Amino acid sequence: DQQVKQNSPSLSVQEGRISILNCDYTNSMFDYFLWYKKYPAEGPTFLISISSIKDKNEDGRFTVFLNKSAKHLSLHIVPSQPGDSAVYFCAARAYTGNQFYFGTGTSLTVIP
């Protein structure tokens, strides 16, 4: 059973606008969340993370929001650029172990 879900397989956004990618999780023992970006023919690369003790973390154009009560996190990209076009995975770690659980990914296309 998928413990981390990304319900939107794809998203298209105009350049300069905001991209919002969503992720839901089911395990209340998750204490750390990460977003990765993946270009075709490359491995995922780390983008931004957030601990469960926070509800927001910013890094330049990227902001991650965490709503623990809803078991939901989102990644905001502002402004979106064509180079942001990639597949985005959210991932979560349970404090009980070393395993990371990944979502199914959302393919973002930023239209120039």
Partner 1 sequence: DVKVTQSSRYLVKRTGEKVFLECVQDMDHENMFWYRQDPGLGLRLIYFSYDVKMKEKGDIPEGYSVSREKKERFSLILESASTNQTSMYLCASRTLGGSYEQYFGPGTRLTVT
- Which positions touch partner 1 (CB under 8 A)? 2, 4, 6, 9, 32, 34, 36, 41-46, 49, 89, 91, 93, 98-105
Query: Of 74, 97, 75, 91, which Cα lies nearest the Cα of 2?
Result: 91
**Which residue lies nearer to partner 1 by CB, 15 or 109?**
109
Neighbours of 49 (CB within 10 A): 16
**Which residue lies nearer to partner 1 by CB, 15 or 38?**
38
> Under a CB-based contact definition with an 8 Å cutoff, are residues 68 and 25 in contact?
no
Minimum Å gap between C-beta 68 and partner 1 is 17
